[in-house]
Amino acid sequence: MSGFRFPVSRLSDEALLSGLATGDPELADTFVRRFQYRVFGVAMAVTRDQQLAEDVAQLTFERAWRHAQIYDSRRGSVATWLTTIAHNLAVDAVRAQRTEPMASEDLDALLAVVTQTPERWALADEASSQLRAAVARLPREQARALVMAGIYGLTAQQIAEREGIPLGTAKTRVRAAMAKLRTTLASPQRGDHVQ
């Protein structure tokens, strides 16, 4: 080691990233300190949860350490690369916290259980049996959209993506299903009641 050492705080972002990749503790510490607030800020903006943002920030630096050797300066600065990693991890973390909806192909089976189980109708109260009957009378596409929105809490955009339909069509299906249910449940038909 030579007697003169360049202050690590004055090293370029690329040099610090290289030091991170080699496992140099001083360079790694300087790299983290240089970017910690930016990375945490991106994570916090996406997650809106301090603990989750801290976890995302830690994962971001771990990923940067593991992938430092594949960083390509022609594709953007170290800061851009690192904040992109943070953003992607934060989005993934938020998605992972949401309840995972049932696979689209399983929705038909769920609709059958919800709408076509006479033994459950006998045990259910009058309101739930009326609701099941009303859902059973909906067109299949509207019933699927209603289940995705009402039970799984998907947005119209998410429904459109899952069903492979335009956003406007997804919104129309949910609105139409809700309107039909309101009309049906507001004026019960004969034969809808379980006695």
Q: How far apart are CA 23 and CA 44, in angstroms?
A: 27
Query: Hunting for tokens 């976890």 — which residue is that?
Result: 55
Residue 98 in contact with residue 76, Cβ under 8 Å? no
pTM above 0.75, yes or no: no
Average pLDDT of the segment spanning 114-133: 55
| Helix 140-150 × helix 104-115 angle, to 10° | 100
Token pair belonging to 75: 């594709």
pLDDT for 130 beyond 90: no
Q: What is the pLDDT of residues 162-191, one digit of tens each?
A: 889 999 999 999 999 888 888 887 765 544
**pLDDT at residue 8, rounded to an integer:** 75
Q: Which helix (H) or strand (E) holds 186?
A: helix 167-186
**pLDDT at residue 115, rounded to an integer:** 53
Q: What is the pLDDT of residues 79-93, one digit of tens each?
A: 888 988 999 898 888
Average pLDDT of the segment spanning 100-128: 54
